C-alpha cells in the first residue's frame, strides 16, 4: 500500500476570499492526493463560500487532486437537512458522510466515512463497509492498539483506513453555538460571529491556561495533533491515508514536511523541527495515540529514526 496524504475540509469560518485562495494554494503547492471540501460544522456558513465553490473545484481538479465532498457532522434543523440532502445526492462527487443521516441519501453507493461517525469497534466498521464505505477516517482519540485491531478487519473487507495526523483535534459537537453565546447572541441570530476567530476561539481554564478551542458548535483541542513520531507505526499497522486538518497558517508547509518524511527525505527529528517553524503557534500533542490524556505530548519514540 502506497501511503498518501489527505487534506480534511476547512472547519472554520474564514473570509470567503481567503477560503478560495487557500484551496488555490493547495492546488498549486500542497503534496496531498485527496482534498475534502464542503461545510462540515454549520449549515449557515455554506452559502458564504458558494460563489467560489465551482472555481475552487475546477482549480483542484485541474491540479489532479481527488475531490471528496464532506457532509455536515450534525443535523438538527431543516436547513441542515436540506444541505445534507444537497451534498449527499450531488452527482459527480464522491461523498464523505459525517452524520448517519447522509447514509439514507447515499443508499449504499460508494462513499467515505468521516471522523465524526465514531467507528470504535469491528462491528461498526463492518456495518459501514457493508453499506458502501470504501474508506473510513477513524476518530483521533482511538489509541494505537485500537487502530491496529480495526486495521486487520479493514484489510479483510477491502476498506482503507485514514487517521488524522496533524491539526486541532475534533472533540465534541453541540446543538447550541457556544461561539454565539460567548458574544451574547443565539445560534439563529449569530451574525456569523465566528468569523472573528480564523482558527477558533481559545477557551481558558479558571486559572487562565488555554485548554480548548471553540469553533461554532464544535469543541476542539487547544493543542495541535502531531503524529510525526507515530507515522511509521501507523503505516506498519496498515493505515494508508494520513489526514491533515487545515489551519489558517502552516498547513501547506506541514503537508510538505509530512510528504518529505513519508519519502524518507528527512528524519523525524528534522520533521518536528520543521513543524515547529510552520507558525501554528500552539503546543503539539499525541496523547490519545498512547492512551494518555489527549493534550499531552509523548516523546518516548521521537529518537527512533
pLDDT tens for residues 270-283? 999 999 998 888 99
Strand partners, 95: 69
Q: CA–CA separation, 60 vs 90, rounded Å?
A: 18
Average of pLDDT values for 101-109? 94
Does residue 99 have a pLDDT over 80? yes
Confidence of residue 92 (pLDDT cuts 50, 70, 90): confident
Does residue 79 have a pLDDT over 70? yes
Ordered by where they begin, the domains of the chain are 4-169+223-290 (3.20.20.70)
pLDDT at site 304: 33
pLDDT digits (tens, 9 = 90+) for 115-149: 999 999 999 999 999 999 999 999 999 999 999 99
pLDDT at site 301: 52
pTM comes to 0.94
What would the DSSP string read from start to end of the chain? ---EEEEPPP-S---HHHHHHHHHHHHHH---SEEEES--S-TTTHHHHHHHHHHHHHHHHHTTPEEEEEPPS---SHHHHHHHHHHHT-TT-EEEE-STHHHHHHTT-SEEE-GGG---SHHHHHHHHHTTEEEEE--TT--HHHHHHHHHHHHHHT-EEEEEEEEEEEEEE-SS-HHHHHTT--STT-TTGGGG-TT-EEEE-TTS-EEEEEETTEEEEEEEEE-TTTHHHHHHHT--EEEE---SSSHHHHHHHHHHHHTTSS-HHHHHHHHHTT---S-EE-GGGGTS-TT----TTTT--
Amino acid at each position: 500500500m502506497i501511503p498518501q496524504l489527505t487534506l480534511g475540509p476547512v472547519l472554520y469560518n474564514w473570509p470567503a476570499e481567503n477560503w478560495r485562495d487557500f484551496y488555490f494554494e493547495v492546488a498549486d503547492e500542497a503534496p496531498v492526493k485527496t482534498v475534502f471540501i464542503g461545510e462540515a460544522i454549520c449549515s449557515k456558513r455554506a452559502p458564504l463560500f458558494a460563489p467560489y465553490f465551482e472555481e475552487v473545484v475546477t482549480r483542484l481538479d485541474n491540479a489532479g487532486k481527488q475531490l471528496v465532498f464532506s457532509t455536515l457532522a450534525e443535523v438538527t434543523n431543516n436547513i441542515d437537512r436540506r444541505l445534507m440532502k444537497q451534498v449527499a445526492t450531488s452527482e459527480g462527487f464522491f461523498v464523505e458522510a459525517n452524520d448517519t443521516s447522509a447514509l439514507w441519501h447515499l443508499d449504499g453507493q460508494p462513499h467515505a466515512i468521516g471522523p465524526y461517525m465514531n467507528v470504535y469497534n469491528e462491528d461498526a466498521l463492518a456495518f459501514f463497509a457493508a453499506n458502501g464505505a470504501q474508506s473510513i477516517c477513524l476518530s483521533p482519540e482511538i489509541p494505537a492498539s485500537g487502530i491496529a485491531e480495526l486495521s486487520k478487519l479493514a484489510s479483510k473487507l477491502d476498506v482503507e483506513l485514514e487517521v488524522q495526523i496533524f491539526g486541532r483535534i475534533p472533540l465534541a459537537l453541540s446543538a447550541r453555538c457556544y461561539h454565539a453565546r460567548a458574544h451574547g447572541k443565539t445560534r439563529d441570530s449569530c451574525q456569523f460571529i465566528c468569523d472573528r476567530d480564523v482558527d477558533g476561539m481559545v477557551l481558558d481554564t479558571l486559572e487562565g491556561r488555554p485548554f480548548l478551542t471553540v469553533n461554532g458548535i464544535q469543541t476542539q483541542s487547544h493543542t495541535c495533533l502531531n503524529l510525526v513520531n507515530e507515522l511509521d507505526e501507523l503505516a506498519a499497522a496498515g493505515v494508508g491515508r494520513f489526514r491533515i486538518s487545515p489551519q489558517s497558517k502552516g498547513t501547506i508547509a506541514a503537508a510538505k514536511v509530512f510528504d518529505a518524511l513519508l519519502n524518507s527525505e528527512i528524519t523525524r527529528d528534522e520533521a518536528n523541527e520543521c513543524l515547529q517553524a510552520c507558525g501554528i503557534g500552539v503546543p503539539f500533542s499525541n496523547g490519545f495515540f498512547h492512551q494518555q490524556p489527549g493534550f499531552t505530548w509523548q516523546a518516548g519514540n521521537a529518537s527512533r529514526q
